[in-house]
Amino acid sequence: MEDAGTAPGALTARAAGLVACTQCGRVHPLGTPQCRRCGSDLASRDDTSLQRVWAWLFAGMIAYVPANLSPMLLTSTFGRTRENTIIGGVFELFDHGSYGVALVIFLASVVVPIGKFIAIAYLALSVRSRGLARGHARQRLYEVVEFIGRWSMIDVFVVAILSALVQLDFIATVKPGVAAASFALSVAFTMLSAQAFDPRLIWDSYEVEET
């Protein structure tokens, strides 16, 4: 099990001339259009998977640019209006001594999105050239990307809550900025990109060795 990518004697559904359902695990003869057990559409390998991964990934990267350049939050306190970008908000929290929260926002809004861009691009590229990293390492990377993507939405929700709550006329008002919309789009596009990736592609490259 240490390097199961080359585990001896494992037979895949595709190599057996069968098609498996990725939703419920049921196995069918090749060419069956829909799963008998759960009704999902079947495809031995999704040929368009990588195209869709790249398309959503680029859309996500493009939306991430205005998300960082334009203001996320417009705060007016005692008549003065300040505009905060994502990074600006992190610095402000840091200055106030809220290190923990600053770290959460920095991770969710900067480290995770950029890390996801790199990770998805790496996974999509590594499918072509086998042996870049072991199957298990890439599999783990894919699971992390799938799990963590949604947590980037934190900052959008923070903006929504602050804008709804902080409406104290002269003392303080908070309004959402343009970046909230483009950041939300960027997160959604990257999630779609990760979902379009077919993890079976990670393991396919080992199959040639085995047979």
Partner 1 sequence: MGDSVPSGSDRNDLQDSTGDALASLIACPVCDTLHRDSEVPDGAQARCHRCGTVLLAPRAGAMTQIVLLALTAAILMVAAIFFPFLDLQAGGQHREGSVIGAILAFSDGWMMPLSLAVGALVVLLPLTRLLAIVYTLAPMAFGWRPAPHAERAFRLAEGLRPWAMAEVFIVGVAVALVKIAGLATVTPGFAFWAFALLVLITALKDTFMCRLSVWKTLERRRAP
Q: In the window 5-24, what residues touch partner 1 (CB under 8 A)?
A: 5, 7, 9-18, 20-24
Count, residues near partner 1 per rule CB under 8 A: 78
Q: In the window 33-62, what residues touch partner 1 (CB under 8 A)?
A: 36-40
- Residues contacting 155, CB < 8 A, separation 6+: 72, 86, 89, 105, 108, 109, 180, 183
| Site membership for partner 1, residue 141 (CB under 8 A) | no
| Site membership for partner 1, residue 157 (CB under 8 A) | yes
Among 56, 180, 189, 205, interactor with partner 1 by CB under 8 A: 180
| Site membership for partner 1, residue 66 (CB under 8 A) | no
Closest to 105 in 3D by CA, of 182, 180, 158: 158
Three-class SS state of 55: helix
Please state, as a whole number, how many other Cβ atoms lie within 10 Å of the Cβ of residue 38: 11
Among 1, 79, 80, 129, interactor with partner 1 by CB under 8 A: 1
We find the least distance from the C-beta atom of residue 54 to partner 1, in angstroms, to be 20
| Site membership for partner 1, residue 132 (CB under 8 A) | no
Among 110, 121, 144, 154, interactor with partner 1 by CB under 8 A: 154
Q: Which stretch binds partner 1 (CB under 8 A): 60-68, 111-119, 122-130, 192-200?
A: 192-200
Q: Give me 50's structure tokens.
A: 């990588």
Residue-wise burial string across 68-96, b where 16 or more C-beta atoms lie within 10 A, e elsewhere:
bebbbbbbbeeeeeeebbbeebbeebeee
Hey, CA dihedral for 126, 127, 130, 136, is it positive or negative?
positive
What 8-state DSSP symbol labels residue 1? -
Among 118, 125, 137, 172, interactor with partner 1 by CB under 8 A: 172
| Site membership for partner 1, residue 94 (CB under 8 A) | no
| Site membership for partner 1, residue 200 (CB under 8 A) | yes
| Site membership for partner 1, residue 211 (CB under 8 A) | yes
Q: Give me 145's structure tokens.
A: 């990307």
We find the least distance from the C-beta atom of residue 6 to partner 1, in angstroms, to be 9
